[in-house]
Structure 1
């Protein structure tokens, strides 16, 4: 019996229905809208029917999109990030993620465990620096990559900030892939890696929350294996799907080989500062990013000062590698031709 050829999603086409008030922050990653643009207006019935879909496509193409002086409520954050996934074809079983420790960090009222409170304590900024790593590069991660069905989109609105510090950086997984040699790209496309959420510990006598946004995001061991090169279904572009915080082992290599390869890939991301964008938060600032094709890292330079925001993470598809997909660089070159 012949083996069926797998089918993959067709990349989506941007229809340009968004307000023309945005501009790129760097060539590789990051777009910011003008302060007068309220993302909540895209949720109104008078907004173009394609506006949420176009916003999702823009986020997936640019990696992360920023807004300032936003009036979006936490309920609207949930609605927006949920619709970003739905409008771009995520699996029906996928919903909003519940953090494994959601019960200890959720917002009070309404039982909205999908809204996770980002605090200085959660980011580790208030910990004794002698007892923790002070290398910012150790914090690069893609949200919940330890889940069988990890995140597609995430949204974070900052409400309280220190006077100075607390910026967040995002890195482009597309550009990280493009910077690899063709031989390395081909080799990595044959490999998978195990991601483990071993930084989270269930409360004494307690359990991790489950299920967590998808029926297969279940169990008390936070671990999953994913392709090292991942295709984004919205853009059809390839990205390097590896992060220092959660990626622990390349499955097809020996322990020594895996350690050396992961060390190289982590350094590859951390040292190429031209594939990153740094965002200086203000109260009311909002970021929306695609976890399939970016990594991010908070900057823990504010000590015990207050830094607080609300994050909602959507769950997407099971990661896959489409051998017919293109790199971002190749796709843009084809578009120009």
Structure 2
């Protein structure tokens, strides 16, 4: 499940905790610290859980506002390579759809050198979302995951309101167990899906994003992704030209207020911000244009009256939600790692597993920031 940002206000029913990977007889390379996580994670004492170090915690640490930084996408270097897919030469690659998404086996992300990571960044930018199967990623130390892996792709983002592992605030956790969820779910609507791109209210929202699950139900709990590149291409040329003249306010205020009301740990680590971004943005590596709006953080189009802004934004939200021919649904398997480019995709959790039977869903997201969104005119 993805990077989603709020919680239920009513209690959840009891789940049975189940550790899916690795098996109970296996020990991960990084054992971490075992501790009583009743207060933070809401489960029974589970000292045998091999990923107890990554269970959700909250603290009262506050951070100053983010400052601008210069981002250079690693994928730009891959444009200079004679064979920019060299890192896939021994891999099995299946396209999820002709133009969006890929599923890869036979590549260990932890073994990629600088050249391979540059090519990876370009490949993810082109495909939007890529699933890597049978990885040893989650058995690495958290310092390696963050400082060696995550920071290669950009400055690590610390989420202003979400839970994180003890002493590792750069992880954003997705978590649901027998009594708690730290994600965005509703029981008073037909569906729990909320299409969004992560923390787009930041001046420099994330680029290449990594998500992996320590534990998940045997079925259900998939993640859906939609291509905002293909969504843009489906629009008429005249409408695309008009949208390229528009800018949108993205806001983190509502998210912060939700936490301040006592939800989701009640934590606000950094004061919320609003930023204005182009409604259509250009990817710095591929040069492709994409819509850059989402229901969770986009608030209004600058310079339009409310009715005009709402009409256009709601049309685009509906377009993204109904675009099954430019969406994919990723089924999680044990030890899978999913990478996506947050600049040109949106995603939604699919909360369809039975909370009374199917067990804990526990994952971590690494979220490097990218460049400030821009539109390059043709």
User: Whole-Å Cα distance in 2 between the matches of residues 303 and 77 of structure 1?
Assistant: 31
User: Whole-Å Cα distance in 2 between the matches of residues 23 and 84 of structure 1?
Assistant: 24
Structure 1 position 203, deviation (Å): 4.0
Whether 2:103 is the aligned partner of 1:38: answer no
Do the aligned partners of residues 188 and 204 (structure 1) sit closer, same or farther apart at CA in structure 2, a change above 3 Å counting? closer
1:186 maps to which of 216, 219, 241: 241
Structure 1 window deviating more from structure 2 (71-80 vs 283-292): it is: 71-80
2:143 maps to which of 53, 71, 75: 75
SS at match of 1:260: helix
Supply the RMSD in Å over aligned alpha carbons: 2.2
Q: Superposed, which structure 2 residues align to 1:7-18 within 5 Å?
A: 13=79, 15-18=84-87
Structure 1 position 221, deviation (Å): 2.7
Q: Equivalent residue for 2:377? A: 323
1:254 maps to which of 291, 305, 326: 305
Please say if residues 40 and 76 of structure 1, whose CA atoms lie closer than 8 Å, have aligned partners that are also in contact: no
Whether 2:101 is the aligned partner of 1:101: answer no
SS at match of 1:199: helix
Q: Equivalent residue for 1:313? A: 367
Structure 1 position 208, deviation (Å): 2.6
SS at match of 1:50: helix
Whether 2:213 is the aligned partner of 1:158: answer yes
2:269 maps to which of 209, 213, 220: 209
Whether 2:56 is the aligned partner of 1:56: answer no
Deviation sequence 1:93-131 (CA, Å, 0-9, x none): xx10000024xx1102xx221012111312245x6x13x
Please say if residues 225 and 348 of structure 2, whose CA atoms lie closer than 8 Å, have aligned partners that are also in contact: yes
TM-score, normalisation: structure 2: 0.70
Please say if residues 85 and 123 of structure 2, whose CA atoms lie closer than 8 Å, have aligned partners that are also in contact: no
Deviation sequence 1:226-271 (CA, Å, 0-9, x none): 0000001121110000111111111121100011111100111111
Structure 1 position 303, deviation (Å): 4.5
Structure 1 position 164, deviation (Å): 2.0
User: Whole-Å Cα distance in 2 between the matches of residues 24 and 286 of structure 1?
Assistant: 16
Unaligned runs of 5+ in 2: 1-71
Unaligned runs of 5+ in 1: 1-7, 86-94, 211-219, 325-337
Give the count of matched residue pairs: 284
User: Whole-Å Cα distance in 2 between the matches of residues 295 and 180 of structure 1?
Assistant: 17
TM-score, normalisation: structure 1: 0.79
Structure 1 position 207, deviation (Å): 6.3
User: Whole-Å Cα distance in 1 between the matches of residues 367 and 248 of structure 2?
Assistant: 22
